[in-house]
Structure 1
């Protein structure tokens, strides 16, 4: 003989205070939630470094974020035409900082999502370490006029200056490369 206590059948969902009872009708066809189209974007940029009295400095830019706040970040931008990520990094850094550079090595890739008014964007940004070969620090050459300011910042000070954690990690990787700690 079983000593199990029979469970009562569930009754109707009680009405919440001030509300209506929950009614779900399986016969009602629900409209699908409108999803935004997904767009893939690829950009490139990185750290262009110059040494002054043995201290490595990187050219960084200040630009407005979507909320209108000024943030310091690494120069970067979209690939154009048949450019490789390394070619785009050299061009974008020169346009946004005025500094010409030569690629030393790849530093890493940052991959993130954001939503615009009419689309979701999956963005992949390739970052490189560049050695400065010439130019004058200036935002005057930025065709998009996104960069509002530009500065040389000692690599050891970048964690306090850069707005984004992923870019701070790239700066640490660049410091390790320049110190001979990374391959």
Structure 2
């Protein structure tokens, strides 16, 4: 079975911080990650990334550039699932940080220079390095 999702790193350029989400794993540990979710019918990956970032963090963003794609396998309900996640760099345009999404335990603004050490997943940490390069090139 294949699943496709999209998400992003939304950056507030005035503060130099990014909005990230914390989810509880099966053992009750809080794991920080980038907001992401399923691409809905008729939606582009970019549109899904903007929507998911807003749904999971409360922050309205605009896509600046693609960051890359992560794909992995996991088992759900005794089925192997191949998941592909398209990630984008977004500029924060407005909104208020909130964790109203039931799937999200916490949300936080994290300074970009602390982001790599905060994120739980190596593939997402790699995307942060790419985002940092893009942000430095555009400064």
- With structure 2 as the length reference, what TM-score do the two structures score? 0.95
Residue 65 of structure 1: CA displacement? Answer: 2.3
The partner residue of 1:150 within 79, 89, 107 is 107
Give the equivalent residue in structure 2 for 1:79. 39
The 1-side partners of 2:60 and 2:81 are apart by: 30
Question: Whose strand proportion is higher, 1 or 2?
Answer: 2
- Where 1:147 maps in the other structure, the secondary structure is coil
Tell me, what secondary structure is at the counterpart of 1:139? Answer: coil
Task: Work out the CA distance in 1 between the residues paired with 2:27 and 2:133.
Answer: 33
Match of 1:135 among 90, 95, 104: 95
Structure 1 residues 114-170: Cα deviation after superposition (integer angstroms, max 9, x where no partner): 012321100000000000001000012x2xx11110000111101110000110111
Structure with larger Rg: 1
Q: Please, which of 24, 30, 50 is the counterpart of residue 12 of structure 2?
A: 50
RMSD: 1.2
> What stretches of structure 1 move > 3 A for 4+ residues in a row?
none
Q: How does 1:1-183 map to 2 (within 5 A)?
A: 39-52=1-14, 55-140=15-100, 142=101, 145-180=102-137
Q: C-alpha distance in 2, partners of 1:82/1:67?
A: 36
Higher relative contact order (CA 8 A, sep 6+): 2
Q: Which runs of 5+ in 1 are unaligned?
A: 1-38
In the alignment, the residues of structure 2 paired with residue 120 and residue 68 of structure 1 have an alpha-carbon distance, to the nearest angstrom, of 24
Paired positions, count:
138
Unpaired runs of 5+ in structure 2? Answer: none
Determine the C-alpha separation between the residues in 2 that align with 1:77 and 1:166: 16
Point out the structure with the larger helix share: 2
